[in-house]
A and B are shown apart, each in its own frame.
Chain A
Amino acid sequence: MMYDYFSSIVSGITAKLEEDPHGIHARKRYALAVAALGQRLYSENARIAWCGVTAPFDLLNSMGVTSCFVEFVGAMLASTETAELFMQEAEDAGYAADSCAYHRAVTGAMLKSAMPVPDFIIGTSSPCTAGLAVMENMAKQYRKDLFVLNVPQSESPAAVRFLALQIEEMAGFVAGHTGQALSKNRLGEALELTNEATVLIKEIYGLAKQKPSPVDSRFLNNFGVVITLFMGTREGVDICRAFRDELSHRIATSAMDPSQERIRLMWVQNRIQFPFPMESMLGDSGAKIVVDELNDVTWEPMDPDNPFESIARRILSIPFSRNVDSRVAHLQELAREYQIDGAINPCHWGCRQGTGVRGIISNGLREIGVPVLNLEIDCVDSRNLAKGQIQTRFEAFTEMIQG
């Protein structure tokens, strides 16, 4: 059923793109790639790995493994308004309703046999312990082998060595399951593609910083997190190029209306995944999200001659892998570079990792003159959504910014 669902999306988007073969259509190409990934995950032929968010997808792609972080499924279920059914299943099975809804939705999908059965599982201790617990539960439920990448919080030489060693061990673990050893050449090619895509991603973010920004509030929604799934592939490079070209085109044609950007906002952590009229709520006040916390490149180019250490340094550079001081410094840097007027933190309910230190994040941004709107939203579970209250708070926040 899910395979057919994704296949119909792939067919639909492909037909649309064929109607305008010379158009850029970045979001459509991105949606097509995401649907095609869903199709592969639910096909019977692919080798599948369910992973943690910070797994090295370029390495896995180079080894011919169709891999995906499980929170992607939670987001997908929310966006199609089917998450509730699965969250209820998880809650009925005894999983706490106070836990992260991304993980509850995935757990419910697993219990209802709505997830593709993986060949193996690769957990990551970053960004969160809750996600790692889900990976262990999956390994038990599916009776599949589990590998865990322990991501230290520091970037000390010992931490880099430890993580690099684990990544090398992980490659051996994958080879043990696929029967194909890691090819250094293929990994090298994948890392070159990662570098090519990363250059384009930096260009995308560079363009998004302009004033007025060529992005609208949804254009780069979830981009920084989801694009990692396509790293190390030509498809990933092509998607990034399409985004870069579309922004360049918007700038060249002066497509953006400055009156829609009286207030430039930063979105902290992850977006609301279920259908929610965020853009219209913000647009009514002339406010626009120009940057997401998760849309940034914090690492140096990958070194194909030193792949494991390179990948380790990349994982360790992600602010979510580090302490709150690093995270606040990163948010402050983004705030300055994008010249934002305010920040919205949805404070995803159930997230101890990202939401836990919201007071420190607010203080850190206020230090540089950026007000923060802390909401109480579950980004996946819409059952307790107080839409009217959120709208009122948006309005009060934007009024306050406009003085």
Chain B
Amino acid sequence: MKNKILGFTCAYAPVPIIEAAGFQAFRVLPQGECPDQAGQLLHDNLCPHVKRVLDRALDNDLPGVSAMVFVNSCDSMRRVADAWRSARPGDQVMVLDLPSTNTPSSIDFLATEYERMARTFFTWNNLTFSRERVRERINVWNDLSQTLALLETKMGEAFYPGLAAEVQTVVNTAATDSVDAALAMAKAAVTKAWVPAGGHAPVFLFGNLLFDPKVFDLFERWNMHVTRLDFCTGSRFVSTVDLSQTDDPFAALARSYMTGPPCARTMDITRPGSIAQKIVERAGASNARAVMGFTLKFCDPYLARIPGIRQALQAAGLPFLMLEGDCTMGDIGQQQTRIEAFTEMLGV
């Protein structure tokens, strides 16, 4: 029998908890052909992510989804959680409170929130709450994370045509189907005989959402060697959970999610603006010679940090191209000239 489907929209919603409670985790991605209707409930100046997700809800383009978890991660996410209740009043909905900082008290609070989330999901699914089950799913998740890390290391070592799209396909499978299926795909990808090629400019990609594997094939066609997919729909989504420091899986999740590579909305108050330096470091570690950012229009957390990121990249001597859009293929297609000029300028 297929598991019931529980939807989510933010990378700070841990898939291991959803799966431990017997649900299929389904990330509601902003895609599809449903008509624009979100404006009935939300203002047009909200990001295309939440508007498209709400379009899907209003159009009943969510087969099998009967429950949702939203994360109080940014204003737009708060608002789509608000609108969901109007759009789909029959769904079970939970909002998880996510602190903005990685201080000890914030991490402790998030641990209690993750436990509340788990208990709620087990109850929704009429199952007995089990910490052990959560730990088991974290272990599988970590297996996936570490396998993907091998593929990402390979992405940085040389240009393997198709590898970036393959990695994205694995991540999407974990987000919308099952971690077990994604793990099997990742292991197959690791053993595949990838053939390196030359003549492409190594570029580190970062931003919020870019999830269509075909986009990365396009980038390759435009002479780009993608060295890393640092998106909340990419490598940041499948980050390893460190279980070695604590027996409590929720504390482990909270610590790992708050101290791992951050979304722009999460800050280290001891190093304000440090997201910029972290991007420089990760770009360097991936052997990139340049950086390209892609953020959704109206995404305040990223847009407020871009000038600082630009400065840090300039200081590090890394050329930077910033794109803003709605993460559809059509939108990306319009960027072809800029991207080709950028990779050409890198002179590989």
Give A contacts to B, CB under 8 Å.
Answer: 93-96, 98-100, 103, 123, 125, 128-130, 132-134, 136-137, 139-140, 146-148, 150, 152-154, 158-159, 162, 165-166, 169, 323-325, 347, 349-353, 355-360, 363
**Inter-subunit contact B272/A169 (CB<8 Å):** no
A358–B307 alpha-carbon span in the complex (Å): 30
Stretch at the interface among B71-79, B143-151, B195-203, B281-289: B71-79
The answer to whether residues A136 and B272 also contact, given A152-B97, A153-B95, A347-B43 and a CB cut-off of 8 A, is yes
Which A residues touch B43, using CB under 8 A? 347, 352, 355-359
**Inter-subunit contact B307/A94 (CB<8 Å):** yes
**Inter-subunit contact A147/B75 (CB<8 Å):** no
A233–B47 alpha-carbon span in the complex (Å): 41
Further 9 A-B residue pairs, CB within 8 A, beyond A130-B75, A352-B79: A98-B297, A128-B300, A132-B267, A158-B112, A158-B116, A323-B81, A323-B95, A347-B43, A357-B41
The answer to whether residues A353 and B78 also contact, given A129-B301, A146-B272 and a CB cut-off of 8 A, is yes
A140–B106 alpha-carbon span in the complex (Å): 21
A283 to chain B, nearest CB (A): 29
Which A residues touch B109, using CB under 8 A? 150, 152, 158, 162
B99 close to chain A: CB less than 8 A: yes
Which B residues touch A363, using CB under 8 A? 86
B100 close to chain A: CB less than 8 A: yes
A338 to chain B, nearest CB (A): 24
A325–B85 alpha-carbon span in the complex (Å): 9
**Inter-subunit contact B300/A360 (CB<8 Å):** no
- Interface set, chain B 70-98, CB cutoff 8 A to A: 72, 74-76, 78-79, 81-83, 85-86, 95, 97
**Inter-subunit contact A94/B75 (CB<8 Å):** no
* 4 closest residue pairs by CB, A with B: A133-B304, A140-B273, A324-B82, A356-B79
A200–B52 alpha-carbon span in the complex (Å): 46
**Inter-subunit contact A153/B269 (CB<8 Å):** no
- Interface set, chain B 157-196, CB cutoff 8 A to A: none
A340–B139 alpha-carbon span in the complex (Å): 58
**Inter-subunit contact A349/B82 (CB<8 Å):** no
The answer to whether residues A359 and B39 also contact, given A94-B306, A129-B74 and a CB cut-off of 8 A, is yes
Contact residue among B113, B269, B300 (Cβ-Cβ distance under 8 Å from A99):
B300
A128–B86 alpha-carbon span in the complex (Å): 22
B303 close to chain A: CB less than 8 A: yes
**Inter-subunit contact B304/A325 (CB<8 Å):** no
**Inter-subunit contact B304/A360 (CB<8 Å):** no
Interface bits B299-312 vs A (CB < 8 Å: 1, else 0): 01101111110100
Which A residues touch B42, using CB under 8 A? 356-359
| CB-nearest residue of chain B to A90 | B307
**Inter-subunit contact A95/B72 (CB<8 Å):** no
A94 to chain B, nearest CB (A): 4
**Inter-subunit contact A98/B298 (CB<8 Å):** yes
Which A residues touch B303, using CB under 8 A? 95-96, 98-99
**Inter-subunit contact B301/A323 (CB<8 Å):** no
**Inter-subunit contact A355/B81 (CB<8 Å):** no
B40 close to chain A: CB less than 8 A: yes
